[in-house]
Amino acid sequence: MGSEVKRIALSGYYGFRNSGDEAVLQSILLALQAEGERQGVPIEPVVLSIRPEETSRMYGVSAVHRMRMGEVARALRECDGLISGGGSLLQDATGLKTIPYYLAVLKMAQFYRKPTFIYAQGIGPVHRPIFYPFIRNVFNKCRYISVRDDESAELLARMGVARSKVEVVPDPVMGLPLKDGAVKRERDSKPVVGVSVRYWNKDRSELDGLARTIRQIAESRPVTIRFLPFHLPDDAEASRYVIDRLGSLPGTSAIEVTETAVHPQDMLAEVSGCDLLIGMRLHSLIYAASQEVPLIGISYDPKIDQFLNRLGIKAAASTSSFESETVATEALRLLDDRAGWKERNQEAIVRLKKQAQLPASQIVAMVGGIR
């Protein structure tokens, strides 16, 4: 094994203050560092970020502005490889510019003859088949491809990317540890129900339904409801919308909103202190699973169902069909059976955590010339 420092560029939705995507970045950085140390290949990351100074301060790495293509080109010329991922980068649900941007960064690296790697991405939805040949062309030139679910692998296969070339692995955040020396937040004398919400339906019907669910839970027993905004400021506003619909809770039940957990591992610690997590955000559910906290998923996107499927769980509700009483009943059942939930799911969680390290292991070996 050599000792030459290898510089790896990372492209993703980084620097936008979205806790889920920041958790992806932190998870990849830690996995690369761990694998680099294990394999004797020193890794020096450089992150393409919308707020490069903030990213550098938060993670202690080099960063360049992702939209200043001169800086991006210079970083790619000087690197030994490019990682694209994770997260849902190649999708056209949020606009027409997303797929062309991420493909352009990959194509630029390939133009400079740098090895390119796809790291546990969720592919799709891709509603416009016009993108298929462009994705196929770029992906077939990648040195390594991993996706976070079978559905993504199947979509790539339909686009013409060889299925044998694609490895299915968990979301990298499954491998995110608590900070060194971190102490899990102590649980209240009352059960703590973490809640992660986002805006989705224009009529806010799913948030209205969730407010009814929370009230039913609080009417059954004293609880602390801890709102965990993963994307500021939008999720904090969505949380306040639900709180306004709740009004005052009965008895000694209380409401908290955690808006200071900006670093992914700080939010992970918040989730670890919950007795139950009700989540719309994908990474709120991944955080809960990794910390063995019982979880209830509210599906607004197939990626929620795809993750829950890996645990053998189904979403309790969706944004198109929200039965408040059903969700409340499930929440109360899980609060009474936390130990049982952990016992039933621990084996799958341990397996997913281990598998989450596979992409970093492969990429470091390839960059280091080990394979």
Mean pLDDT of 216-242: 96
pLDDT at 136: 98
61-84 burial, b for 16+ CB within 10 Å, e for fewer? Answer: bebbbbeeeeebbebbeebbbbbb
156-180 burial, b for 16+ CB within 10 Å, e for fewer? Answer: beebebeeebbbbbbbbbbbbeeee
> Do residues 129 and 247 share a domain?
no
**Cα(174)–Cα(23) distance, integer angstroms:** 10
pLDDT at 186: 62
CATH number at residue 331: 3.40.50.2000
> Do residues 98 and 226 share a domain?
no
> Do residues 128 and 214 share a domain?
no
Q: What's the token pair of residue 162?
A: 């060889």
> Do residues 90 and 127 share a domain?
yes
> Do residues 330 and 361 share a domain?
no
In a domain, 130, yes or no: yes
Question: Which helix (H) or strand (E) covers residue 144, if one does?
Answer: strand 144-147
Q: Which residues pair with 9 in a beta bridge?
A: 46, 82
- Residue 210, Cβ neighbours under 10 Å: how many? 26
> Do residues 161 and 202 share a domain?
no
**Cα(249)–Cα(9) distance, integer angstroms:** 49
Residues 6+ apart with CB under 8 A from 168: 146, 147, 148, 149, 150, 152, 153
In a domain, 186, yes or no: no
In a domain, 184, yes or no: no
Per the structure, the count of domains in the chain is 2
The pLDDT of residue 188 is above 80: no
Look at phi and psi of residue 361 and say left if phi exceeds 0, alpha if psi is from -120 to 50, else beta: alpha
Question: Which helix (H) or strand (E) covers residue 225, if one does?
Answer: strand 224-227
Over the stretch 37-79, which tens digit does the pLDDT of each residue have? 999 999 999 999 999 999 999 999 999 999 999 999 999 999 9
pLDDT at 182: 63
The pLDDT of residue 241 is above 90: yes
> Do residues 361 and 347 share a domain?
no
**Cα(114)–Cα(82) distance, integer angstroms:** 7
Q: Do 151 and 126 touch, CB atoms closer than 8 A? A: no
307-323 burial, b for 16+ CB within 10 Å, e for fewer? Answer: bbebbebebbbbbeebe
**20 or 114: which leads in pLDDT:** 114
Residue appearing with tokens 């196929």: 136
Mean pLDDT of 167-189: 82
> Do residues 98 and 12 share a domain?
yes
In a domain, 175, yes or no: no
pLDDT confidence tier of residue 1, bands split at 50, 70 and 90: very low
pLDDT at 94: 85
The pLDDT of residue 2 is above 80: no
Mean pLDDT of 138-148: 97
The pLDDT of residue 211 is above 80: yes
> Do residues 235 and 340 share a domain?
yes
Mean pLDDT of 332-346: 97
Amino acid at 170: P
> Do residues 157 and 219 share a domain?
no
pLDDT at 360: 98
Q: Please tell me the least confidently modeled range out of 11-15, 75-79, 115-119, 180-184.
A: 180-184
Which structural domain, as residue segments, surrounds residue 341?
Answer: 192-352
How are the residues of the chain apportioned to helix, strand and coil, as percentages rounded to the nearest 5? 50, 15, 35
pTM for the model stands at 0.90
Over the stretch 276-303, which tens digit does the pLDDT of each residue have? 999 999 999 999 999 999 999 999 999 9
